[in-house]
C-alpha cells in the first residue's frame, strides 16, 4: 500500500473513531494539505442544523413552548441541540428525544411540573399521526385501531390541549389518555378514556359480541350498539361493514 493511501486510511480511522463535531473534521483537514475548510463555511452548516432543530421543535411542541418564557425555551432548545445531536434524515424525528430531555432537567431548570407530561403528549400526538401501522380495511370483526396509544398522566391534558393551552396550565388529576389516527381523516384524535370507550375497546380486544356485553352488563342492547357505532365513527375501533 502506498504511503499516501495508508495515511488517508489512518487519518479517516482516527476521525471516525473520534468525537462527532467540527473539531474532528478540522483535525482531519489539517493532516491533508488541500483539504482546508473555511471556518465561515463550517459555521454556515452549523447554523443550518441549529435552525432545523429549532424550527422542528417549535412545530412539534407548540404548547410546550407556549408554557414557558422565551428565555426558558431558548435554553431548552440550545441544551437539546448540544446534547442530542440531530442524526436522522427525517426532520421530524429530531424531536423524538425532546420529552425525555425536558423531563430530565425540569426540576433543575425550574420548569412547570406539567411540562414533561405535556411534551410527552405532544410527541405522542405526532407519533400517532406518523405511525407506520397499517390500518386494515375491511375487517371481519370489531378491531382496535392499530395506531392507538395510551398515556397515563398526572394532569388533565386532553382538555388543555383541546383548548390550545388557553388556561395557562392544565388541571391536576390522573388521566388515561387515548390517542389514535383516524383511518379516513388521517389526523390524530385524542380523548380521556371513559367507561364507554374502554368497554368498546374491551369488546374489540376480546372479541365480545354486543349481545354478550348487554347480558353481562345489564345495558340495553341498543345502547351497546350505539356506543360501538359512535367509536367506530371516530376511528377508535374498526367495524365490519354491514
| pLDDT tens figures, 16-29 | 666 656 666 667 67
Structural domain for 199, as ranges: 133-242
* One domain, residues 92 and 155: no
Q: Where a domain ends, among 130, 160, 186? A: 130
Q: What's the pLDDT band for 228 if we cut at 50, 70, 90?
A: very high
* One domain, residues 115 and 148: no
Furthest-apart CA atoms within the chain: distance in Å: 86
Give the model's pLDDT for residue 3: 77
* One domain, residues 85 and 167: no
* One domain, residues 100 and 173: no
pLDDT average, residue stretch 90-108: 93
Q: What's the pLDDT band for 51 if we cut at 50, 70, 90?
A: confident
DSSP the chain: --HHHHHHHHHHHHHHHS-SSHHHHHHHHHTSTT----HHHHHHHHHHHHHHHHHHHHHH-HHHHHTS-HHHHHHHHHHHHHHS----SSGGGGGTTHHHHHHHHTTTTT--TTHHHHHHHHHHHHHHHT------SS-SS-EE-TT-EEEEEEE-HHHHHHTTTTTSSPPEEEEEEEEEE-TTT-SEEEEE--HHHHHHHHHHHHT--HHHHHHHH---HHHHHHHHHHHHHTTSEE----
* CB-count burial class (<10 Å; 0-12, 13-18, 19+) for 57: buried
Q: Give me the CATH number covering residue 187.
A: 3.90.930.50
The CA distance from 44 to 177, in Å, is 42
* One domain, residues 137 and 126: no
Domain membership of residue 31 (yes or no) is no
Q: Where a domain ends, among 70, 104, 130? A: 130
Give how many domains the chain has, as a whole number: 2
Domain membership of residue 234 (yes or no) is yes
Give the model's pLDDT for residue 104: 95
Q: pTM for the complete prediction?
A: 0.82
Give the model's pLDDT for residue 242: 76
Q: What's the pLDDT band for 220 if we cut at 50, 70, 90?
A: very high
- Classify each residue of 92-107 as buried b or exposed e, where b means 16 or more C-beta atoms within 10 Å of its C-beta: eebbeebbebbeebbe
Q: Give me the CATH number covering residue 50.
A: 1.10.150
* One domain, residues 103 and 67: yes
* One domain, residues 198 and 94: no
Query: 37 pLDDT exceeds 80?
Result: no
Query: 14 pLDDT exceeds 80?
Result: no
Give the model's pLDDT for residue 203: 98
Query: 64 pLDDT exceeds 60?
Result: yes
Q: What's the pLDDT band for 172 if we cut at 50, 70, 90?
A: very high
Mean pLDDT for the chain overall? 90
Note whether 80 and 101 are within 8 A (CB): yes
Q: How many CA atoms lie within 13 A of 131 on its CB side?
A: 21
Domain membership of residue 17 (yes or no) is no
Q: Where a domain ends, among 130, 153, 176? A: 130
* One domain, residues 141 and 168: yes
Note whether 165 and 65 are within 8 A (CB): no
pLDDT average, residue stretch 55-81: 96
Amino acid at each position: 500500500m502506498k504511503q499516501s493511501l495508508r495515511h488517508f486510511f489512518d487519518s479517516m480511522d482516527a476521525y471516525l473513531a473520534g468525537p462527532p463535531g467540527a473539531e474532528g473534521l478540522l483535525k482531519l483537514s489539517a493532516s491533508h494539505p488541500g483539504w482546508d475548510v473555511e471556518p465561515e463555511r463550517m459555521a454556515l452548516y452549523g447554523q443550518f442544523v441549529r435552525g432545523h432543530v429549532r424550527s422542528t421543535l417549535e412545530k412539534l411542541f407548540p404548547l410546550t413552548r407556549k408554557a414557558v418564557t422565551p428565555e426558558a425555551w431558548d435554553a431548552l432548545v440550545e441544551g437539546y441541540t448540544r446534547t442530542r445531536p440531530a442524526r436522522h434524515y427525517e426532520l421530524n424525528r429530531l424531536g423524538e428525544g425532546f420529552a425525555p430531555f425536558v423531563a430530565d432537567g425540569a426540576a433543575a431548570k425550574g420548569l412547570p411540573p406539567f411540562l414533561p407530561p405535556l411534551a410527552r403528549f405532544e410527541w405522542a400526538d405526532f407519533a400517532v399521526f406518523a405511525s407506520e401501522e397499517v390500518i386494515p380495511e375491511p375487517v371481519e370483526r370489531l378491531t382496535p385501531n392499530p395506531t392507538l396509544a395510551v398515556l397515563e398522566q398526572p394532569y388533565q391534558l386532553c382538555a388543555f390541549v383541546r383548548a390550545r393551552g388557553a388556561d395557562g396550565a392544565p388541571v391536576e388529576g390522573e388521566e388515561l389518555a387515548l390517542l389514535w389516527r383516524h383511518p379516513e381523516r388521517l389526523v390524530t384524535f385524542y380523548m380521556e378514556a371513559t367507561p364507554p370507550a374502554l368497554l368498546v375497546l374491551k369488546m374489540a380486544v376480546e372479541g365480545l359480541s354486543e349481545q354478550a356485553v348487554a347480558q353481562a352488563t345489564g345495558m340495553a342492547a341498543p345502547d351497546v350498539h350505539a356506543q360501538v357505532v359512535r367509536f367506530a365513527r371516530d376511528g377508535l375501533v374498526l367495524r365490519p361493514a354491514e
